[in-house]
Structure 1
Amino acid sequence: MASMSPCPVPPEQRPQEEFQQLCTSWFFTWPTESQQGLDKALLISWFGILPLTVLVASGSWTLRNDPPRLLAAGAVAAFVLPMLLLVRQWLGWSYVHKRLLAEQVEYEESGWYDGQVWEKPLAWRERDMLMARHEVRPILGRLARAMAWTAGLMLVGGSLCQAL
């Protein structure tokens, strides 16, 4: 029986190890602590890209002579970077979430794409399920809220650009 044998999955490909790798990554730790920490990092990225987006928007003849619309267009365009960062974080955390919830672990034994599957023992499944529910799911919730706010701000900003 495969579940009684020792774990053949290389340590770096085990779901819990993948979770730990994300938790120690500078980029992926943004949503781990609180919504405020994530919001602060996203706001910094937005302010960081804002001068560039305003500069690009100033290339438009119609916007060049209308400073309020120029700033509004640059501000809306600057939301693209935080949204891309959120999507990348969502992909990483949802991948680990899926691996933690799975009853089997897919892995590469030699690195030559020789896909293997190992069934997790019951104790591993229970531990992984708890980790997925109580540690990863709140992170995904924070990311979902941040993506909704960012998309909403982009829509409202786009509407304001049209109204100005």
Structure 2
Amino acid sequence: MFSTKSDCPVPFDQQPLNEYLALKESFLFSWSMSTNKSFIVNLFYIFISLFVVFSIFLIVCTNTNNLSQFFLLDLIFSNVVIFFLFIRLYLGWSYVVKRLMSATVFYEESGWYDGQVWIKTSDYLIQDRLIGIYQVKPSIVRIKYSCLSIILNLIVIYLFFLCFE
């Protein structure tokens, strides 16, 4: 359900509401907008998949005899990849929420050299800000807390790794 309003001079793909809807329907970003239960289950599936992939990689590339070091190294790699995934989610959603909350929209008509600025009407501004506040910002907060928990998890894993050396 994309927005097509005729009084908006911004090209269809560059309208903040349409950018939000496109991001919301994409595979990676829709996962971050799901319910808490679905979010945690999908995060668990991603973590297990990464853990298996890195286990295979570490078996092939290293000759670690210590099982605890192998396990902790696998956990570190998996958590780092998930951390970068959350950074990507944060950057995408923060760009969209910035454009939704702004009273002006910078857009390009045909290329990088002919940018224009459109001042949103009150209808557009109210609609975009409501979507930004009630739809996007809670996901950004969840992503921030997830990043923080992954950082703490990495610190704990690294400390365990140092103990088993």
| 1:40 alignment partner in structure 2 | 41
TM-score (norm 2): 0.87
Contact 1:39 1:146 in 2 (8 A): no
Cα distance in structure 1, aligned partners of 2:82 and 2:42: 9
Q: Which runs of 4+ in 1 moved over 6 A?
A: none
What residue in structure 2 maps to residue 72 of structure 1?
A: 72
Distance 1:99 1:71 in 2: 43
- Structure 2 match to 1:133: 133
Q: 1:120 maps to which residue?
A: 120
Give a deviation string over 1:35-76, Cα, whole Å, max 9, x none.
332222222222112233334445455xx1211121111112
Measured in 2, the distance between the counterparts of 1:47 and 1:136 equals: 27
Q: Which runs of 5+ in 1 are unaligned?
A: none
Q: For residue 107 of structure 1, give the secondary structure of its aligned residue in structure 2.
A: strand
Look up the SS of the partner of 1:6 in the other structure.
coil
Matched position secondary structure for 2:27: coil
How do residues 1-164 of structure 1 correspond to structure 2 at under 5 angstroms? 6-58=7-59, 59-60=61-62, 64-164=64-164
For 2:17 and 2:118, the matched residues in 1 are separated by 15
Structure 1 Cα separation of the partners of residues 29 and 113 of structure 2: 27
Percentage of matched positions with identical amino acids: 29
SS in 1 for 2:45: helix
Paired residue secondary structure (1:157): helix
CA RMSD of aligned residues (A): 1.8
Structure 2 counterpart SS, 1:117 = strand
SS in 2 for 1:9: coil
Q: Deviations over 1:51-108 (max 9, x none)?
A: 33334445455xx121112111111211122111111111111000000011100001
Q: Secondary structure of the equivalent of 2:9?
A: coil
Give the equivalent residue in structure 1 for 2:3.
none
- Report the more deviating stretch, 139-148 or 29-38: 29-38
TM-score by length of 1: 0.87
Q: How many residues align?
A: 158
Contact 1:54–1:73, Cα closer than 8 Å, also in 2: no
Could you tell me whether the CA contact under 8 Å between 1:31 and 1:37 is conserved in 2?
A: no
Question: What are the Cα deviations for residues 102-127 of structure 1, in whole angstroms up to 9, with x where unaligned?
Answer: 11000011135311100011221111
